[in-house]
Amino acid sequence: MSRVYDTFPVLREQRHKRGNNLSGGQQRLLSLAGALVAPPKLLVADELSLGLAPLVVEMVYDGLRQIHEAGTALLIVEQQVDRVLEISDEAMVLDCGTLAYDGPAENAGQAMDRLLTSRRERNLVAHRDSSTHVGPTAWNLEPTGL
């Protein structure tokens, strides 16, 4: 337990409370504590930072880093890409359900930049094309017989 308390000191302070009486962030830390005590071969984490205060997010990622360093493989689904890439060896980036990148985490940032640039350019072209459209629309506005 000392490893858990060293990693998540707030849990030491709250150790006499039941898990359901902890804050959402503390509950998230408690869920990671088990992986520090008995590290699994694989830990799957989905949106761990969602709704957490920045300080708690930092604690969560410190815990994930330690779990990974202890030999546990991590599969992390996260929108805070920069945080995940800091502790990742490999990365996969999905764009609307399509695999946009699969490779070393150190190159994923560049792939993300290219993806976002491409998306911005497509949006600009679509916006320009829709704002300059002149002429009849695809709607059939002719009256029909009654």
- List pLDDT tens digits, range 12-66: 888 888 878 888 888 888 888 888 888 889 999 898 888 888 888 888 898 899 8
Q: Write out the two tokens for 47.
A: 């949106």
Q: What are phi and psi of 88, to 5 degrees?
A: -100, 150
Whether the model clears a pTM of 0.85, i.e. scores above it, the answer is no
Q: Give the per-residue pLDDT at 104.
A: 95
Parallel, antiparallel or unpaired: strands 90-95 and 73-77: unpaired
Domain assignment of residue 40, given as a range: 1-88
For residues 39 and 3, state if they share a domain. yes
Q: Which residue has the higher pLDDT, 25 or 107?
A: 107
Q: Give the per-residue pLDDT at 139.
A: 47
For residues 11 and 62, state if they share a domain. yes
For residues 57 and 30, state if they share a domain. yes
Indicate if the pLDDT at residue 108 is higher than 60: yes
